[in-house]
Every structure is written in structure tokens, then in C-alpha cells.
Amino acid sequence: MGETLPGPAAPPGSEPLPPPPPPPNRAALVLGVLGAVLVVILAVSIPLVMGVWEERSGEASDSSDLADVHSFGGLSTDHTEDDVDYEHTPPAGGPHDPQWLDCGPYDEPVRDENTVHSLEHGTVWITYTDELSADDVDMLEDALPDEGILSPYPSQDAPVIVTVWGRQLELEGADDQRLERFIEEYGDGHTAPEPMASCVGGVRETATEGLDV
């Protein structure tokens, strides 16, 4: 067998060459790449998951705003020219006058029987007590939709009540944010028997005066 020859000697006066670096550890390299990818995935996923959670939480909160809405079923749509003794006031439906009440704000209480006919047409009815200031009433008038009626109702229990056919919500005041939520949910008249009929062109009558057609 031949002998192994020594490598070339270092030139006189020079330092010996450093040993070559060890080969890279493939396992450590793969783990490092996977760790970097995982960090990127988490950085992207966590904000998305949090955003979805917040959105769903917000939707649940919005729905809970209308948790106190009262529902009334089995409401008659019969017409009558007589006064009606409604079980609940302000009424949210039931027998009513053949003539509906015109849209808009009123300074005096209006006749229930005419207003209920407007509810049948998909109208929003906002009522308030004498406790409200003039500024509060102006705030309610600003919130009133085109298919809406605003009138005082001194005998009601809550400071403000918003009503559509078959649905009603008692509010704490003119600045109660649930008013807007209620109108968004029910202002299209989908609970009413005749949602496309409108309150436009009805009579203008208060509880203390005769018909003004």
C-alpha cells in the first residue's frame, strides 16, 4: 500500500490556514424555515380572527338593542267608524277607521283609529309625553322617516314610544339610540299588512278636532 503524502507546507513566516467550516446542519435549517413561516402565518391570521370576532360581537350587541321590542299578534284589520277600546296604548294594530292619518309631525294628540290605519300601511309612529322639552321634540322630528307620524301621547308610560304594526319599543328619551335601530329594522313596513300603501294623502285629525281632509 502506498503512503499518504503530506500536503503542501505553509510558506515560511505565514500562519497556518484555518480549518474549513463544518457542513450546515440540515435539520436546524429546516426548523428555522418552518419557524419563520409560522411567524408569518400567525401575524396574518390573528388580526383576521380578531376582526371577525369583533364584527360578530358587534352584530350581537346591535341585536340586543332591540331585545325589549314588544310583539303583538292576531291583530284585526277590520274597518270601523266607531271608537275602539284598544287593549294596549298606544295601539300597535287592530280595528281602525276607514280613513288613515296623513304623515308628518303633529303638535296635539291624534286619533288612534286613524293612526292605526296608517300603521297598517307600514307607517312608523313616534309618540312622546309632556316631559319632553322642545329640543327633544325637534330631535324626534329629525329622526322621523318620510313614512312616519310624530305626535304627543300624554297617557303613555315611557317618555318616548316608537310603534309599527305589531311591534313597539319603549324608549328612555329622544336621545335613545335604539330609536334609530328600530327604524332601521322595521321602518320598511315589512310587519304591516299593506306595507306599500303609504300614509301620504290621509286625513289630518287630532283627538280634539274634527276631520281636516
Q: For 134, which DSSP code?
A: H
The reported pLDDT for the residue numbered 212 is: 41
The domain of 31 spans 27-64
- pLDDT at position 29 is 65
The whole-number pLDDT of residue 41 equals: 76
Whether residue 94 sits in one domain with residue 42: no
Asked if residue 194 lies in contact with residue 154, where contact means CB atoms within 8 angstroms, the answer is no
Strands (E), 108-201: 124-128, 148-152, 160-164, 167-171
In the 8-state DSSP scheme, what is residue 167?
Answer: E
Q: Of 115 and 26, which is predicted with more confidence? A: 115
Residues 35 and 136 in one domain: no
The mean per-residue pLDDT over the stretch 36-49 comes to: 67
Quote the pTM value.
0.70
Domain count within the chain: 2
- Whether 131 is covered by a domain: the verdict is yes
- CATH code assigned at 173: 3.40.30
Nearest to 123 by CA among 142, 107, 140, 102: 102
Q: Are residues 82 and 111 in the same domain?
A: yes
- Average pLDDT rounded to a whole number, residues 56-66: 54
* Any domain includes 17: no
Q: Are residues 85 and 141 in the same domain?
A: yes
Question: CA-CA distances (angstroms) from residue 197 to 6, 61, 192?
Answer: 108, 33, 10
